[in-house]
Structures are given as C-alpha cells and as structure tokens.
C-alpha cells in the first residue's frame, strides 16, 4: 500500500500563475531587454550610414542641399540666442512673479484692464508656451478673463526680446518693428474686448492647479527652462527646415505666383504661421528669409504666429477647455489677419 502526500492548497495555482514579484521581475526583464537592444539599433544605423556614405556625401554636396543647409543654419544660429533668452525671462516671470501682483496692478473695470494687461506684455517678456499657463494662473487668482486673454495674446508678441529680434531680422526697416507692435497690441485688445462682450463663463474651464505645484522656486524655474527650450527648440528646427525648403527646393515660380497676389500671399503666410508653430523669439528670422513675399504678408506671419498655432490650440484646449479653444482660435486668426492688413496698409 502506498501513501501519497496531499499537495498543499494552491500549489497548482502557483504553478500556473506567477507571484507578483516574479511577474514584476519578468516585466522588468522585458524592459531591460528593450533597453539592451537600443545600442544594437544605434550600431546598425551607424553601419548603414557608413555603408551609404558615398551617396550621402554626393547628396549633401549637391547645390540644392548646400543652399538648404545654408538657410537652415543661418535661421537657427540667428534665432537660438533670442529663444534661450526669452525662455529664461519667461520662466522667471512664471515662477518668481506672483499672480497676485497682476490682481493688484490691473484696474478693477475689465474695459480698462484689457489695454493695461495688453501693454503689460511689452514689459513682461514671455513666449507663447509660457503665456497660456500664466493666463490660466491669472484667471484662477481673480483677474478678469478679458484682461488675462489680452495678456495671453500680447506677451509673446510685443515683449522687448521679440521686438529686438524683429529689428535684427529686418535691419534698416524700423517700420516692421512698429507695425508688429501696433498690430499685435491691437489684436490683443480687440480680442479682450470681444471676450468681455460676447464671452461666456461656461466656455472657460481654468485648470485646477498649477503644473509646478509642490516644487521649490529653483526647481520650478529650471523645470520650466528645460521644458520650454526642448519644446520651443524643436519647433524652431521644424520652422527653419520649412523656411529652407521654401527657399531652396520649392520652385521660385510657385512662390512668385503666390507672392504676386496680395490676398493669397497674406493668407498663405498666415496659414503657414499656424502650421509651423515657431516660437515668437525666432519667427522674425524665418519671416525675413521669405523675401518673395511683401512686408504686409510677412507682417501677417509675425502677428498670427504668436497668437494662434497648432501647439497653442492644443495648450488652450488643455488649459481652458475645448469649448473655449474652438471659439477663441478662429476669432483670433481672423482678427490677427485683419489687424496685420490694416496696419500694413498704413505703415508699410
């Protein structure tokens, strides 16, 4: 007679289902496997580049590519210092200037607070990436939405860094600096007053808390700088690539055909500003490279870009809600184009 010892309860279950620690270790092993494969992929890419160095060298040495790289490097090198300086000042504004300062500084009447908030953008530098969360903080601290939106639109468009970059990008044309300032401020104030008259509070959904909550001022400052440099720098590279492509690859006859029609040229560059999403500290150098187009068309590019583009629409949706963004963005585009055309007809 044989005696068989009973299996402990749950033994079969353990055979078929790994404990949490083992499952976690398995998942970690899978992640490590992916990490270990990254150098292999990089090595394969390097081998591929070495193997194709002949065709790559011939392609790079082609006149079209030489022209493309010249325009690309020129735009990036000229714009990058202003982008970094603007990001530093923008982070200082967002972190070290309390939103309560604006509540005390702005008039209590919204109709008067709108132009004051718009003019504040001329002395408080900030790129458009930072202006959206700053405007959200202003609304949370009790600033009238109309004034906060005027600041949101004016700060990245008329601050000293942007105007200085515009003056350097358009040497000998101070009227471009004045036209950009006037058209941008006019758009910001008009949109603030339009919101005051037609806006509804149920369209506006401010965020529940700041994104840097729980961080010290120093940590929040450097976090903002790192994020904005990487984010805005990526869009600068894309914008420089697009400008170089338009300058070097697109047939001149196509650009001349669009540039010869005043209406088409203004609308084309306004839409291009929305699609490229270039940081306002760098867009003047891209606009200056589009020499086929009139100054008014390039002014539309400079006025529209800091106020509404693809990344700003996404940020406004996340900060204030989709109901706000789908109404505010088209109205801002129309107002910015109209202001640029009006000011361009007078000053340019």
Helices 174-198 and 160-169 sit at what angle, rounded to 10 degrees? 140
Query: 129 and 279 in contact (C-beta within 8 Å)?
Result: yes
Output the DSSP codes for 280-337.
TTTHHHHHHH-TTS-HHHHHHHHHHTTT--HHHHHHHHHHH-HHHHHHHHHHHHHHHH
Longest CA–CA span in the chain (Å) reads 111
CA distance 299 to 284: 9
> For a pLDDT cut of 70, what percent of the chain falls above it?
80
Residue 294 is encoded by which pair of tokens? 């009139």
b/e string for 307-338 if b means 16 or more Cβ within 10 A?
Answer: bbbebbbebbbebbbeebbeebbeebbebbbb
Structure confidence by residue, pLDDT tens digits, 175-209: 999 999 999 999 999 999 999 999 887 787 654 44
- As a whole-number percent, the residues of the chain with pLDDT over 90 amount to 32
The pLDDT assigned to 34 comes to: 46
Band of residue 27 on the pLDDT scale cut at 50, 70, 90: very low
Nearest to 283 by CA among 75, 69, 86: 75
The predicted model gives 266-291 an average pLDDT of 90
Between 128-140 and 145-158, two packed helices, what is the crossing angle to 10 degrees? Answer: 160
Please tell me whether residue 279 adopts helix, strand or coil conformation: coil
- From residue 199, alpha-carbon distances to 112, 170, 202, 311, 324 in Å are 17, 37, 9, 23, 9
Q: Which of 4-8, 120-124, 212-216 has the highest mean pLDDT?
A: 120-124
- Count of alpha carbons within 13 Å of 84, Cβ hemisphere only? 5
The reported pLDDT for the residue numbered 122 is 83
Q: Report residue 177 as tokens.
A: 């600096």
The alpha-carbon radius of gyration of the chain (Å, integer) is 26
> In Å, how far are 54, 57, 240, 260 from 66, measured between CA atoms?
16, 11, 15, 27
The residue with tokens 């800091």 is 306
Q: Is the pLDDT of residue 234 over 80?
A: no
**Could you tell me if residue 142 is left (phi over 0), alpha (psi between -120 and 50 degrees) or otherwise beta?**
left
Q: Is the pLDDT of residue 259 over 60?
A: yes
Cβ partners under 8 Å of residue 190, min gap 6: 335, 339
Write down the pLDDT at residue 44.
Answer: 82
288, 170 contact by CB (below 8 A): yes
Identify which of 243, 84, 221, 93 has the alpha carbon closest to the alpha carbon of residue 165: 84
């Amino acid at each position: 007679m044989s005696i068989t010892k009973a299996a402990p309860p749950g033994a079969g279950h353990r055979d078929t289902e790994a404990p949490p620690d083992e499952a976690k270790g398995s998942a970690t092993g899978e992640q490590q496997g992916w990490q270990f494969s990254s150098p292999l992929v990089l090595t394969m890419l390097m081998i591929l580049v070495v193997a194709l160095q002949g065709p790559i060298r011939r392609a790079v040495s082609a006149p079209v590519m030489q022209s493309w790289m010249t325009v690309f490097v020129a735009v990036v090198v000229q714009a990058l210092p202003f982008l970094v300086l603007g990001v530093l000042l923008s982070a200082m504004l967002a972190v070290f200037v309390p939103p309560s300062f604006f509540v005390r500084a702005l008039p209590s009447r919204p109709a008067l607070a709108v132009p004051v908030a718009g003019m504040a953008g001329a002395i408080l530098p900030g790129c458009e990436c930072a202006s959206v969360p700053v405007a959200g903080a202003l609304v949370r601290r009790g600033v009238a939405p109309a004034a906060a939106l005027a600041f949101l639109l004016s700060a990245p468009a008329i601050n000293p860094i942007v105007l200085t970059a515009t003056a350097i990008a358009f040497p000998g044309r101070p009227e471009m600096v004045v036209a950009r300032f006037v058209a941008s401020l006019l758009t910001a104030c008009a949109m603030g007053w339009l919101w005051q008259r037609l806006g509804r509070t149920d369209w506006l959904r401010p965020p529940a808390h700041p994104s840097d909550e729980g961080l010290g001022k120093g940590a929040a400052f450097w976090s903002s700088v790192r994020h904005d440099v990487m984010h805005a720098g990526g869009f600068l590279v894309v914008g420089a690539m697009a400008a170089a492509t338009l300058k070097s690859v697109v047939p001149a006859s196509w650009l001349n055909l669009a540039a010869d029609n005043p209406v088409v040229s203004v609308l084309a560059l306004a839409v291009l500003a929305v699609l490229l999403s270039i940081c306002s500290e760098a867009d003047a150098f891209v606009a200056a490279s589009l020499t086929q187009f009139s100054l008014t068309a390039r002014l539309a590019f400079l006025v529209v870009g800091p106020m509404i583009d693809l990344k700003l629409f996404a940020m406004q949706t996340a900060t204030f809600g989709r109901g706000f963004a789908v109404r505010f963005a088209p109205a801002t585009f129309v107002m910015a184009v109209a202001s640029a055309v009006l000011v361009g007809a007078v000053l340019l």
